[in-house]
Structure 1
């Protein structure tokens, strides 16, 4: 059983105030961080990603140890991983990223309403930088 949900404020990784910065970037907040008791050196970390209308994140990678499962909670997210096609995911739909993947596009697919997704990482416990932006 997963326990010990840590307070969001104590774990916040905020790139901007509000759902989107003036430069259109997303707001990222770690909402869960738990070491796996049966897999030494691995943790589950969940990140809430909030995009304002028309918002986007720069191209990025994640730690080489990271497997990511993402679910769209609200709105629609446009995503492109590696050289695959760009795809729009709507609320309730999910996608995965594998270790070493390059996330070329991650954006709100709509210009008039916000979008949110929950990205759940299985990652090395010592990883502190979950997203490496390419800009």
Structure 2
């Protein structure tokens, strides 16, 4: 399998890697990757993001071609995409992110309980950097 995800810390995450730090206090585990047979040139990639209590991802942007579906598996996640407001999602709730989205806040809403998120990307198969660290100017948004 090929490397498809560059973590928010800008490190390459190979699909065979069991768990790698994604940002301060979160762990990303590759779960699934496969070319979509009836949509030539597109690949579906699924990742599980585990947030410890108080854990957060660094602000990041998504690939120009990547449509993302996010589903909270457990706990509560706070998320801010593009110019939207910070929203809280509970286990069983979901949202989507459009291609080239800026994900300025992605964090566990709890300081005492862990949270887990499933992120599913549909992107151009040749696009290797699905996620890259955002500019440091967005650091203040992360602290809201």
Would you call these one fold, judging by a TM-score over 0.5?
yes
- Paired with 1:12 and 1:128, the residues of 2 have a C-alpha distance of 19
Partner of 1:129: 129
- Paired with 1:64 and 1:9, the residues of 2 have a C-alpha distance of 21
- Paired with 1:9 and 1:123, the residues of 2 have a C-alpha distance of 15
Q: Deviations over 1:62-91 (max 9, x none)?
A: 110100001000000000011111010000
Partner of 2:31: 31
1:99, distance to aligned residue in structure 2 (A): 0.6
1:9, distance to aligned residue in structure 2 (A): 7.0
What SS does the corresponding residue of 1:56 show, helix, strand or coil?
A: coil
Would you say the 8 A contact 1:11–1:31 is kept in 2? no
Partner of 2:104: 104
Unaligned runs of 5+ in 1: 1-7, 17-22
The alpha-carbon distance between structure 1 residues 72 and 43, as it changes in their structure 2 partners (threshold 3 A), is same
- The TM-score with structure 2 as length reference comes to 0.78
> Cα RMSD between the aligned structures?
1.9
Partner of 1:63: 63
Partner of 2:72: 72
- Paired with 2:99 and 2:24, the residues of 1 have a C-alpha distance of 27
- The TM-score with structure 1 as length reference comes to 0.83
Partner of 1:10: 16
The alpha-carbon distance between structure 1 residues 102 and 9, as it changes in their structure 2 partners (threshold 3 A), is closer
